Amino acid sequence: MIVPCIDLMGGKVVQLVQGREKALEGDAPLAMVERFKAFREIQVIDLDAAMGTGDNGAIVASIASRANCRVGGGVRTADRARLLIDRGAHRVIVGTAAFTPAIEEICAAIGPERIMIALDSRNGKIVVKGWQESTEFTAEDVISRLETYCGGFLCTYVDKEGMLQGTDLEWFRRLRAATDHEITAAGGISTLDEIRELTAMRIDVALGMAIYTGRLDLNVLAKISEP
C-alpha cells in the first residue's frame, strides 16, 4: 500500500527536509485530500503539535472527516490520543511517548490496534520530540518489545527525509526480519524501484516530497497501490 502524506505547519501543507528546513508548500489541505482520493489511507502529521509550537486540530478534523487517516503529532498522552480519535483519526501515530510509561496509558485508552509507533532513525539512533533529540538505542533494538503496544510501525529513515536521494533498503530489511507487525517505510523514497522492493518485503510506503515535487506520478502510484 502507498500512503500519501499531508504534513501541517501553521495551517498550511508543507514538506520539510530532515524535519527542519521548509522546502515547499502544497495546495490547501482539502485540495490535497482531493488529490489523494484514489488512495486507501492518508498520513497526516501535525508538525506544530509535534514540535510543541501549536495545533492544527480543526484542519486535522476536516481532513479526517473526508478520508481514512492515520494521524500523528504531539501524541504524548492518552488524552491527546483520544482527542485525535474523536477528531476522526482511524489510527494514531505515537513517537516520543512510545519510549515512556505513557505508552501503556495510550494503549489502554484506544487499544493497540489503533496505534502506530513511529521509529524515526537518524545516524543509526532513534530520535524523538519532533526529531530534535537523539536516544541511545536503535530501531532494531526496540521494535520487537514494542509490538504489544501497537498494530504497526511507521519507520522513517530521517537521514534522507525530504532529500529525494533514496532510502536505506537494508535498514528496512533488518526491521522486516525483526517483526511480523505491519511496517510503513518513509524517508527519502523517490523511485518506483524502491517502492517495488519495499512492497516485495511486505512493507507499505509513505510518500511526501517525491509526490509534491512531481518526481513520482500520482496516477502511476494509485495503480500500484490498488489491492
Residues with active-site annotation: 7, 120
Amino acid at 39: F
**Grid cell of 184 as nine digits:** 510503513
Nearest to 122 by CA among 152, 156, 153, 99: 156
DSSP annotation of 70 reads E
What is the distance, to the nearest Å, from the Cα of residue 97 to the centroid of all Cα atoms in its chain? 15
Tell me, what DSSP letter sits at residue 226?
-
Could you tell me the three cell numbers for 30?
482539502
Give the containing element (helix H, strand E) for 136: none
10 Å CB burial of residue 62 (0-12, 13-18, 19+) is middle
The single residue listed with the C-alpha cell 510518500 is: 207
Task: Using alpha carbons only, give the angle 34, 35, 40 rounded to the nearest 5 degrees.
Answer: 80
CA dihedral 188, 118, 201, 222 (to 10 degrees): -60
Residue 35 CB contacts under 8 Å (≥ 6 apart), including other chains: 4, 27, 218
